[in-house]
């Protein structure tokens, strides 16, 4: 049985569209936990476009399952992680102009740099996950750099449209997950997973946890609008 961790970034994205204080990702995280999520994920980006330092600090105080902080491997964020002490840090590449995380880390290229960051996080009792593409070289490099977990990037699979491309990308994920498990790394997966494309993953038991954000927040709006409108109709009809 695999576990779900919910990424609450896009609750904050909606808040920031108005620059006010709702909806609150901290409240949403609590409700996600009550609904059975086994972990809460947020990405503190350098430009603070959605999740803010305030959110991270409150999430640390309130999350009862497991708090996973996604962050770029840079000193500013390393210092914040060492201070806040999330349960897990997921290192991700970050480009300022991207809409969302675009690819995996190139651990193989900067192994020593990742080794240094990873050992500081692990000394502080934080588990370390590397977000990588389903590439055997990146998996071996992640092991060498000290990662506890690899999160396999499912973006190419999620964006593939033809059945042959979908199968090709899925096979890569499956092989990567098997190799990572063989090397005794824990395996997570995420990016672009939704209520349809998740079903195929029953054939990859090596993946113990899925990190899902956008599709859950999108569905939240759609399944929630009926109740939200009814409540306002009642209020307005009483005017």
Q: Check binding of 151 to ligand PXP (CB under 6 A).
A: yes
193 is a contact residue toward ligand PXP (CB under 6 A): yes
145 and 130 in contact (C-beta within 8 Å)?
yes
Contact between 134 and ligand PXP per CB under 6 A: no
Specify burial of residue 138 (Cβ count, 10 A radius: 0-12, 13-18, 19+).
buried
Instruction: Name the active-site residue from 10, 43, 50, 188.
Output: 43
Cβ-based nearer residue to ligand PXP, 37 or 232: 37
Does the protein bind ligand PXP through residue 190 (CB under 6 A)? yes
Extended strands (E) in the chain:
3-7, 39-43, 67-71, 88-91, 127-132, 149-153, 186-190, 209-212
In three-state secondary structure terms, 67 is strand
Which residue lies nearer to ligand PXP by CB, 7 or 174? Answer: 7
As measured in angstroms, the least distance from the Cβ of 235 to ligand PXP is 33
Q: CB of 90 within 8 A of CB of 59?
A: no
Instruction: Among 8, 26, 92, 145, indicate the residue that binds ligand PXP (CB under 6 A).
Output: 92
For ligand PXP, which stretch binds (CB under 6 A), given 77-85, 111-119, 164-172, 191-199? 191-199
Q: Which residues are catalytic?
A: 43, 70, 191
């Amino acid at each position: 049985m695999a576990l779900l961790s919910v990424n609450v970034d896009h609750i904050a994205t909606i808040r920031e569209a108005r620059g006010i204080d709702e909806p609150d990702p901290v409240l949403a995280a609590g409700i996600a936990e009550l609904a059975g999520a086994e972990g809460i994920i947020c990405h503190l980006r350098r430009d603070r476009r959605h999740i803010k330092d305030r959110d991270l600090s409150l999430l640390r105080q309130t999350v009862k399952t497991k708090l996973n902080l996604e962050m770029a491997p840079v000193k500013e964020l390393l210092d914040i992680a060492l201070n806040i002490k999330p349960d897990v840090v997921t290192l991700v590449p970050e480009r300022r102009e991207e809409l969302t995380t675009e690819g995996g880390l190139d651990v193989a290229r900067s192994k020593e740099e990742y080794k240094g960051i990873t050992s500081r996080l692990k000394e502080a009792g934080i588990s370390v996950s590397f977000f990588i593409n389903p590439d055997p070289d990146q998996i071996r490099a992640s092991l060498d750099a000290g990662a506890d977990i690899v999160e396999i990037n499912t973006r190419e699979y999620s964006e593939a449209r033809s059945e042959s491309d979908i199968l090709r990308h899925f096979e890569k994920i499956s092989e990567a997950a098997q190799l990572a498990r063989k090397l005794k790394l824990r395996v997570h997966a995420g990016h672009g997973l939704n209520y349809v494309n998740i079903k195929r993953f029953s054939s990859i038991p090596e993946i113990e946890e899925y990190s899902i954000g956008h599709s859950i927040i999108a569905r939240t709006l759609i399944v929630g609008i009926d109740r939200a409108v009814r409540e306002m109709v009642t209020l307005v009809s009483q005017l």
